Structure 1
Amino acid sequence: MAKISVIGSGGWGIALTILLHKNGHELTVWSFDKKEAEELKITRENKAKLANILLPEDIVVTDVLKEAVTDKDILVLAVPSKAVRSVSKSLKNIVKDKQIIVNVAKGLEEDTLATMTDIIEEELKGKNPQVAVLSGPSHAEEVGKCIPTTCVVSAHNKELTLHLQNIFMNPAFRVYTSPDMFGVEIGGALKNVIALAAGIADGLNYGDNTKAALITRGIKEIATLGVAMGGEQSTFYGLTGLGDLIVTCASMHSRN
């Protein structure tokens, strides 16, 4: 059993908290908002982000970051991508050396185009964090209900990757591994551009032909750019590229 803290109490954070709790781990979830934390403690539900899915009573909820981080084996960073840098800065003086941190946010920083793991490593320089990424076609609404889902975990070293695969995987949540950490992150970020185009097509009442064209030509562009940036081509045609693109373009849960 691992002691795990999920940093972020949005839909994805809550879904992963429940998943990891089902896997037999000891869980804490941190909320930036004191009012939201108090409501979670009482109702055990984030009604705005993940309605009708309840946190088990033995999961600790806190709005104190130091309390959430202290003596934890693994931190799961489940804050929005725009908040990754500020939260990482807040973590610098309270995380232990070589802390395992799993980023689950998707995106690139607007000003620098840095990946989320790049930001974490930059802000925690000197702490030597063991950073990994979990990504793939995984809507929180379905993960929270234990609907079969597949994801990919990737880290700088194989030992950590395999350890995290074991931490997250269960019969309803299959986790594959990849050595291409950069490609995994880039695929999750770039697919949002094509997904927005698919959303626009839906808004214009275009049909399935248009969406099929956007997905197939879109993944080609994602792969071409991703390889030019340093990723492996096969990564973009797997779960974290094509898989994530399909679920984002086609699902009613998406915000595109």
Structure 2
Amino acid sequence: MRGAGPSGRAGGLPAVYEGPEELSALLARAGSPHDADAVAERFREAQRLGHERADVIPGLFEDEPRFASPEDARRLYGNLFALWDRLARGLSISREEPEAPPPLAPPAAALPERGASPGTVLPPALVDAVWKHLDALTDRERQRLRDRFDGAQPNVTAWLDALTLPEAAALAVHDLAFEAWAMFDVAFGDRVDTVPFQTLRATHPEPATLETTQPALAAYVSEALDLVAEEDASFGAATRAEAERVLATVAAALTEAVAAEEDA
């Protein structure tokens, strides 16, 4: 999850516009009183005044948005981000309007050799290389990797799904936990074992801080959560603290699951 990082995507979200009908339905399910036309008018006015989308999106909801699942949140925000970009290019909210094909995405960044990192601490250069690689993946490639994550660490995904978190935090921790696993997988390869569910449950009340267990990952997570806070006014101090605690738990459990070189 890279907030609105170098690629302009937020939270690893694909900026896909599904059309006014789908957007209106997603807004209604999330509790917004506005439909796609009203949102478009707000976006156009904000762009005319030079405002950022992060200044506008929180005002689309009278209360904290409601989502049935993290996927619904991804779809809504992906549609909103894509609509903002579409309007900024002078296009309408109709998907039927011809649009120039987007520029070719850069090839995914090269990765270090899988499993070549010694010890159990993620090197800063590897963290940087992996997030850039993830950021350059197509939506299909990224989904395939998420499927690998679910298969390799089913207890992590099940534990995250069982947590009661505000929607902003749920979306952030699911994306960042996936990206953390991808970093561990590249760094340590087959030395990363499956994390037991009970380890996560036992660690969660008082995990070691990310800065202590994985300092390079801590810097990445801090920047990503800063960007989430800029995009979502509901992501306050208490919500962020819980997201940090959950991610510290996942990182500690993944670190513990890395076998020593001689045992691999």
- On whether the aligned pair clears a TM of 0.5, the verdict is no
Q: Which has the higher contact order (CA 8 A, sep 6+)?
A: 2
Higher-Rg member (1/2):
2
Greater helix share, 1 or 2? 2
Length-normalised TM-score, structure 2:
0.30
Length-normalised TM-score, structure 1:
0.30
